[in-house]
Structure 1
Amino acid sequence: MNAVGGAKPARFRRARVLIVGCGDVGLRVVRRLAGRVRLLALTSTPARAPMLRAHGVTPLAGNLDEPASLRRLAGLAARVLHLAPPPADEAQRRDDPRSRALAQALARRTPPRVLVYGSTSGVYGDCGGAWVEETRPPRPQTPRAWRRLHAEQTWRLWGRRTGARVTVLRIPGIYAPDRAGGLRERLLRGTPALRPQDDVVTNHIHADDLARACLRALWLGRAQRVLHIVDDAACPSGEALDRVADLLGLPRPPRITREQAADQLPAPTLSFMRESRRLRNDRMKRELRLRLRYPTVMEGWAQAAASWSRTSHSE
């Protein structure tokens, strides 16, 4: 068929990418893809539609908790980036019905050729500060981590059944100076850190580097592959907080014992203080050919610190 006045031949059509869970990281991916592909995003919040359109994204109404609303997603995109979390802690459930519903919907017609799923490094549980490679067997220790592992298994099995290339990204703590929450807000609140003898080793990734990794995985990721998306600087949690505090000119966090933490800190914060591991990122660098822009937390905060300093001096 002639492309003029009719449908364009396949070779002239822009690739379609569907983003499920288009929050902070998803929008960072959008900014890198805008104008290069046709972008679609699932949203259960109608009020977000104008914002998505302003970013060049076609919003698709649907809710992962309502499987019938997902039927229209079948056959829409050749590549899918799935960043939506499982449900919150409902009766300590260990499965992810959202991933299961989405997998069923996407398989109704020609399934995507590629799906990238954003998981968590929490699936490993506590590793006692040991170095961890992607081949280490998962040992989830919380219902949240079990739900993520179930989602991983759902997608890898789905990939084998459909022939789609599924890549699982295991992601640690995400940060960025322009991202809500995180280290700076924790320092401003004066949230305590564990004393050195009780501390755990934590891992981080800058949100912009994570977005770049997601983008590369959509085109370069290998089938049924797990990758750690993490920077080069695994270190004790309190040490990372001290370094950022010094850089930003904020007070270092007070140090407390593990017993005191159990009395003073909320359960979600405590859960991160019970697990210690050092993630290797060799596979990420080799297979995604990703060169980190922020190899350490210090580099991730340095530019923002300089900008805030210039702003304060100009006022």
Structure 2
Amino acid sequence: MSFLPARFQRPRLLIIGCGDIGMRVVKLLRGHWRLMALTTSVERAAALRGAGVLPLLGDLDAPHTLARLAGLADAVLHLAPPPPQGDTDARTAHLLQALARKGRVRRIVYASTTGVYGDCGGARFDETRATRPATDRARRRVDAEARLRWHGRAHGVVVSILRIPGIYADDRPGGHPRERLTRGTPVLVTADDVHTNHIHADDLARACVAALVRGRPQRVVHASDDSDIRMGDYFDLAADLCGLPRPPRITREQAQAQLPASLLSFMGESRRLMNGRLKRELRVRLRYPTVASGLAIKSRAPAAASSSDRSPAP
């Protein structure tokens, strides 16, 4: 037990699913918060300790391993995905059951997905739009959101839900379109193309931190940048910046014959997100307001280098 007055004690944050975004949050909060993270891996525990995070071994799929989470943290950042099957999220249910045993947690921030809206036909909208999930993957997210908001109302916890679109960053595993461009995966012709939404990983981490501090009770926020771009144009832009050929364009009918169902599901949903709450309520100032500014980071580096240390374009 600490005998310091509360104003001198650092708040405690428990991160659930401390992967790439979680580690970016750690870098922002280290030294200001006491940081803990749930992990299923002993090997991962060593990496967390090295980053200044206290690892807690447990598994969201095994609720008996979560008992120690009760009463540990003032806030929870829930970044873990739902189970891979079904239309409900038992993992979030298990987490909330554990947290409810002792009522210390005052804030929860949950990383959801904009897939909860389903296809919106390219409409531009804010967070008041009703959800219409078209896949089990999105239905699991809707289920998790509902559980979290109920928990917040029942236990007096401020729950912030960040609905997140495509995350990208050159230093994020699988977070740059370069790999897909190298494979030559086609995109849709403009007449059949969909609007997509994006957020740079660093801006998303900053949005998570802002929600931990400024999030309003049971509030949904679009954690999205200002881009208004179609999927094909996004990959064209990335190809130009990387010095790679632009991807081939095919019709939707051709795509249905050539591409896997997992990719087709993303090509079947078109949305344009408004992010006023992100800026107005969370007061996030985007470092990379468009994908053009975020994707160009790597391409600008060689221009600043000398001729002797300039490396080939990736």
TM-score where L is the length of structure 1: 0.95
Q: Which residue of 1 aligns with 2:168?
A: 175
Give a deviation string over 1:241-287, Cα, whole Å, max 9, x none: 11111112111000111122122222221110000010000111000
Q: Which residue of 2 aligns with 1:66?
A: 62
Aligned partner letter, 1:225: R
**Sequence identity percentage:** 59
Q: CA deviation at 1:307?
A: 2.0
Aligned partner letter, 1:110: G
Q: Which residue of 1 aligns with 2:217?
A: 223
Q: How far apart, in 1, do the equivalents of 2:46 and 2:228 lie? A: 39
Which of residues 111, 120, 145 in structure 2 aligns to 1:118? 111
Q: CA deviation at 1:177?
A: 0.8
Aligned partner letter, 1:42: L
Q: Is the 8 A contact 1:204 1:234 kept in 2?
A: no
Q: Which residue of 2 aligns with 1:107?
A: 100
Give a deviation string over 1:7-47, Cα, whole Å, max 9, x none: 43333221100000100000000000111111000001111
Q: Is the 8 A contact 1:111 1:164 kept in 2?
A: no
- Name stretches of at least 5 consecutive residues in structure 2 with no aligned partner: none
Within the alignment, does 1:155 sit opposite 2:148 as a pair?
yes
Q: Is the 8 A contact 2:302 2:310 kept in 1?
A: no
Q: How far apart, in 1, do the equivalents of 2:148 and 2:131 lie? A: 16
Q: Is the 8 A contact 1:124 1:139 kept in 2?
A: yes
Which of residues 30, 51, 54 in structure 2 aligns to 1:55? 51
Which of residues 179, 185, 200 in structure 2 aligns to 1:185? 179
RMSD: 1.5
Give the match's secondary structure for 2:236.
helix
Q: Is the 8 A contact 1:152 1:168 kept in 2?
A: yes
Q: How far apart, in 2, do the equivalents of 1:85 and 1:267 lie? A: 20
Aligned partner letter, 2:299: A
Q: How many residue pairs end up in the alignment?
A: 308
Which of residues 5, 9, 29 in structure 1 aligns to 2:5? 9
Q: CA deviation at 1:311?
A: 8.6
Query: Is 305-314 or 186-195 further displaced after alignment?
Result: 305-314
Q: Which residue of 2 aligns with 1:76?
A: 72
Aligned partner letter, 2:40: S
Q: How far apart, in 2, do the equivalents of 1:111 and 1:67 lie? A: 19
Give the match's secondary structure for 2:65.
helix
Aligned partner letter, 1:100: A
Q: How far apart, in 1, do the equivalents of 2:87 and 2:302 lie? A: 43
- Name stretches of at least 5 consecutive residues in structure 1 with no aligned partner: none
Within the alignment, does 1:144 sit opposite 2:137 as a pair?
yes
Q: How far apart, in 1, do the equivalents of 2:220 and 2:265 lie? A: 23
Give a deviation string over 1:133-185, Cα, whole Å, max 9, x none: 10001000000000000000000000000000000000000000111213121
Q: CA deviation at 1:306?
A: 1.9
Q: Which residue of 1 aligns with 2:22?
A: 26
Give the match's secondary structure for 2:38.
strand
Q: How far apart, in 2, do the equivalents of 1:260 and 1:46 lie? A: 46
Q: Is the 8 A contact 1:78 1:114 kept in 2?
A: yes
Query: Is 233-242 or 115-124 further displaced after alignment?
Result: 233-242
Query: Is 168-177 or 184-193 further displaced after alignment?
Result: 184-193
Query: Is 146-155 or 250-259 further displaced after alignment?
Result: 250-259
Aligned partner letter, 1:60: L
Q: Is the 8 A contact 1:111 1:162 kept in 2?
A: no
Q: CA deviation at 1:48?
A: 0.5
Q: Which residue of 2 aligns with 1:237?
A: 231
